[in-house]
Structure 1
Amino acid sequence: MSVLFVTSTSVGSGKTFFSYSLSQCLINQNKIVELIHLVPDQQNDLFDQSYVPDLLPSKIMSVNEFNSSINELDQNKNLIVKVSHHISLGELKNVVQNCQGKIISLLDFSNCVDQIQYLSEFGDELCGVVVNFVTKFGESNLTEDIIPAFVKSNISVLATIPENRTLLSLTVQQISDILGARFFNGNDYSNQLVEHYMVGGFGMDPGEMIFNTLDDKAVIVRGDRPDVQMSALSTEMSCFIMTGGLEPIEYVKYEANEEQVPILVVDSNTLDTMDRINEIQNFSKFDHPKKLNVGCELVTDNFNFEVLS
């Protein structure tokens, strides 16, 4: 039995993404996997179930429960243990040593080098780190500065994961809830992911050509602009966000239904709506089957699986 503890130095570094994606990768390799959410003893009864995505079977265990049951677990299983950030370093090291496990720490690309001193306290239990959210133009910084800094500190970099729009996306329903929008139509398609946002307006180029540059998008436009709306509907899109509290004409509604495009209506104007959307990815969670598929691809392409053997 192998036991791998997935931890991080800060909230939002990608523990859920990596724990679930790695588990799915191992399942795809015909491995027997058990996914566990490890929480402090005093937090077990209060643990927020909304933080447990319904993507793979998993269980919540307190530290005492885990320590008590470790000898009873199937020796043929691979345990992936996502560690709550409320568990102290000393407590985690004791748990890891009790089951002869290993630790992988998820790090944010923006400040990963700053965590080296803290990571050194894990000692021999640290298997390595995964650097997440590597920016499009961050490769030179990664290869010239970041990886050499970890090598110098005898810490293995097991994977570098690039930023991905799908993993940062939200569903139409989630966007509606955050913006306080109402569905004019398309409730049945509210689970579609929105990866991009485009504002509809005047321009010299044909609308279809502009909107065709991005897929899986939300188009923000006033409700009284059927010309812009019809141009957008001729391209791949996830939803409309119609501003000003204005509903579209019946023909636009008909075409949106035909294309399975939900229409959200908000009372705020376009500029205020865009200001709110600028912060919307902060609400993103790893909670959608498409995200699991993409996450599995990212881990398969970038992770060094040899460390698990």
Structure 2
Amino acid sequence: NCDNNFSEGSSFGLSGSQVITLLNAQALFVERYEGDFCIDSLLEFKKILKGLMMGVFFNKVEAADLEELKQYVSPFLYRKEMELFGALPMDTLLGSVAVRDLVDHLGGDVVCGKDRLDALVENFLVGGMQVDKFITYLLKSPHAAVIVGGDRTDIQLVAVENGVKGLILSGNLYPNETITARAEAKGVPVVVVRDDTYTVAKKVEAMVGRFSLQDRQKIDHGVKLVEKAFDFEKLYNRLNLAATP
């Protein structure tokens, strides 16, 4: 991130800036755009690296910031002799998690919906609130999975009837027959885990945005996004390389 002080590795006597300087390498930064503070940090990095910093490629850019980057940030960086190589928009699919991966990571027992474990979850909701408030949040969260205590049948039923991508029941409490029957009818995977709701939520938070090299759907999608967002021609020109057809 842009708040990185660029000193990682110093305890081993070799920071990131030292590696770049020793190799006399051209550095291209990939950073998450975080406004003015981010730009300030990048300009400081440029001073440290002197002529070795080519520019920056912004990652996970909010939709509202894309126009700002194009109209204001890019020209400003150019005047500071720092190239902007593109901006990758925030993408829900890249941050999604397959239900199957959730089961493996949480050590869960799949009660039903074993044929739907490849479904991708883009949002997570913790069902620790009143039903009316839960419904409000659920309707604003497409492709969601719900983490809820095994004793909250009211939340479970609402989640299932709204066709969530997965229902994760904490506390090693199994659903009653009504929930199981409705989940099977709606094609909703139900997973029971031993941990409490808070622990499950923290474990899920830690794995969001990560994916394996076997996740072809997300990899192919990510490649297409980068090909569209990144200015490869500018990079080849800076490195005096011929573009491949």
| TM-score over 0.5 (shorter chain) | yes
CA distance in 2, matches of 1:282, 1:294: 14
| 1:116–1:153 CA contact under 8 A, matched in 2 | no
Q: TM-score, normalised by structure 1?
A: 0.55
Letter in 2 for 1:107: V
1:246 maps to 2:160: no
Deviation at 1:198, TM superposition (A): 0.8
| 1:104–1:130 CA contact under 8 A, matched in 2 | no
1:265 maps to 2:192: yes
Cross-structure match for 1:216:
143
Partner-residue secondary structure (3-state), 2:208: helix
1:121 maps to 2:48: no
Equivalent residue in structure 1 for 2:31, among 100, 105, 108 = 108
| Aligned 1:1-309 pairs, distance under 5 A | 89=20, 105=28, 107-109=30-32, 110=34, 113=42, 114-117=44-47, 118=49, 120-121=51-52, 129-135=56-62, 138-139=65-66, 142=69, 146-148=73-75, 150-203=77-130, 205=132, 208=135, 210-281=137-208, 283-285=210-212, 287-299=214-226, 301-304=228-231, 306-307=233-234
More strand by share: 1
Cross-structure match for 1:98:
none
Of structures 1 and 2, the one with the larger relative CO (CA 8 A, separation 6+) is 1
CA distance in 2, matches of 1:256, 1:250: 10
Cross-structure match for 1:64:
none
Letter in 2 for 1:215: P
- Relative to structure 2, which stretch is displaced further, 266-275 or 158-167? 266-275
Q: TM-score, normalised by structure 2?
A: 0.67
CA distance in 2, matches of 1:276, 1:242: 14
CA distance in 1, matches of 2:116, 2:94: 19
Deviations 1:280-299 (A, max 9, x none): 32644565333235425533
Partner-residue secondary structure (3-state), 2:183: helix
Deviation at 1:241, TM superposition (A): 1.0
Deviation at 1:107, TM superposition (A): 0.7
Letter in 1 for 2:46: I
Deviation at 1:224, TM superposition (A): 2.7
Letter in 2 for 1:295: G
Task: Report percent identity of matched pairs.
Answer: 24
Structure 1 residues 206 and 239: CA distance shift in structure 2, 3 A: same
Deviation at 1:268, TM superposition (A): 2.0
Q: Structure 1: which 5+ runs fail to align?
A: 1-8, 10-84, 94-102
